[in-house]
């Protein structure tokens, strides 16, 4: 039973050294195994968290980009509206004036161009100008009131007394002819009012006094 006591001192020292060294190697091996085993689990848990953060950042960036685009869109619309408000209304290709106080756009067409002397029949060459007025009213001033006003000079009716009682009668019929033409071109008849002023509102010359005014109430 005490056979190990029979070993030589050298053999006994060697046996003790081997026992000590084998006892010290086991714990480090176990200590190293634990971190190696836990590392993949930590990496697997971190990956979904990183993906979620990236998705959240991407969503926030998309939302900011959409808001910035909307802001730019609103600023462009505001600038366009400001430019539009700063310009007086007009009708392309036709001479017109705008009264800001009354908010009225007036197109003046000379009767010598619109009609033959003593006539209320519209000349063919005058129709393109009326076409532009009708197109503008339908496009930009739908539902707005339109007054068609006829005017003459102060010369009394001499050569067409069989047609007209006086200048008031002639001016009314010329205004009516223009109004009917605008309605044929699609302007709502409910928005048109005709007025004959005769020679009550003359201009500086007779030629300027003979006119038809198309007044559009823009407001």
- What is the tens place of the pLDDT at every residue in 120-138? 999 999 999 999 999 999 9
186: left (phi over 0), alpha (psi -120 to 50) or beta: left
Candidates 153, 170, 168, 150; CA nearest to 206 is 153
83: pLDDT confidence band, cut at 50, 70 and 90? low
pLDDT at 172 over 60: yes
The rounded distance, in Å, linking the Cα atoms of 145 and 183 is 13
205: left (phi over 0), alpha (psi -120 to 50) or beta: beta
Cβ pair 129, 94 in contact under 8 A: yes
Q: CB neighbours (10 Å) of residue 12?
A: 13
- What is the tens place of the pLDDT at every residue in 105-117? 999 999 999 999 9
pLDDT at 198 over 70: yes
Kindly tell me the sign of the dihedral angle through the C-alpha atoms of 169, 171, 172, 174.
positive
CA 112 to chain centre: 42
**Angle subtended by helix axes 167-184 and 127-140, to nearest 10:** 60
43: pLDDT confidence band, cut at 50, 70 and 90? low
Average pLDDT of the segment spanning 90-112: 93
Give alpha helix (H) positions in the chain.
9-86, 111-114, 127-140, 167-184, 206-209
The rounded distance, in Å, linking the Cα atoms of 150 and 73 is 46
70: pLDDT confidence band, cut at 50, 70 and 90? confident
- What is the tens place of the pLDDT at every residue in 7-38? 555 565 665 665 555 555 445 545 455 455 55
- What is the tens place of the pLDDT at every residue in 143-168? 999 999 999 999 999 999 999 999 99
79: pLDDT confidence band, cut at 50, 70 and 90? low
The rounded distance, in Å, linking the Cα atoms of 68 and 91 is 36
Candidates 142, 132, 135; CA nearest to 192 is 142
Average pLDDT of the segment spanning 66-76: 84
pLDDT at 82 over 70: no
Average pLDDT of the segment spanning 42-69: 79
What does the longest C-alpha to C-alpha distance in the chain come to? 165
pLDDT at 84 over 60: no
pLDDT at residue 31, as a whole number: 47
Extended beta strands in 16-145, E state: 96-99, 104-110
Structure tokens that stand for 90 in this block: 């007009």
Candidates 173, 169, 217, 209; CA nearest to 192 is 217
Percent of the chain surpassing pLDDT 70: 75
Q: CB neighbours (10 Å) of residue 44?
A: 9
pLDDT at residue 86, as a whole number: 57
């Amino acid at each position: 039973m005490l056979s190990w006591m029979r070993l030589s001192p050298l053999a006994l020292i060697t046996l003790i050294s081997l026992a000590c060294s084998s006892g010290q190697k086991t714990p480090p091996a176990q200590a190293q195994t634990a971190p190696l085993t836990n590392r993949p689990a930590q990496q697997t848990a971190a990956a979904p968290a990183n993906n979620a953060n990236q998705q959240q950042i991407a969503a926030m960036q998309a939302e900011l980009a959409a808001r910035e685009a909307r802001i730019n869109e609103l600023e462009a619309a505001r600038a366009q509206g400001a430019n539009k408000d700063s310009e007086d209304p007009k009708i392309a290709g036709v001479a017109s004036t705008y009264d800001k106080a009354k908010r009225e756009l007036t197109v003046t067409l000379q009767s010598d161009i619109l009609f033959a002397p003593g006539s209320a029949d519209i000349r063919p060459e005058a129709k393109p100008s009326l076409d532009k007025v009708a197109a503008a009213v339908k496009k930009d001033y739908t539902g707005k009131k339109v007054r068609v006003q006829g005017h003459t000079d102060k010369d009394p009716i001499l050569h067409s007394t069989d047609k007209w009682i006086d200048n008031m009668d002639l001016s009314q019929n010329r205004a009516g002819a223009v109004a009917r033409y605008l309605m044929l071109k699609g302007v709502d008849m409910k928005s048109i009012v005709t007025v004959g002023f005769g020679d009550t509102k003359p201009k500086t010359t007779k030629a300027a006094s003979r006119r038809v005014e198309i007044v559009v109430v823009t407001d």
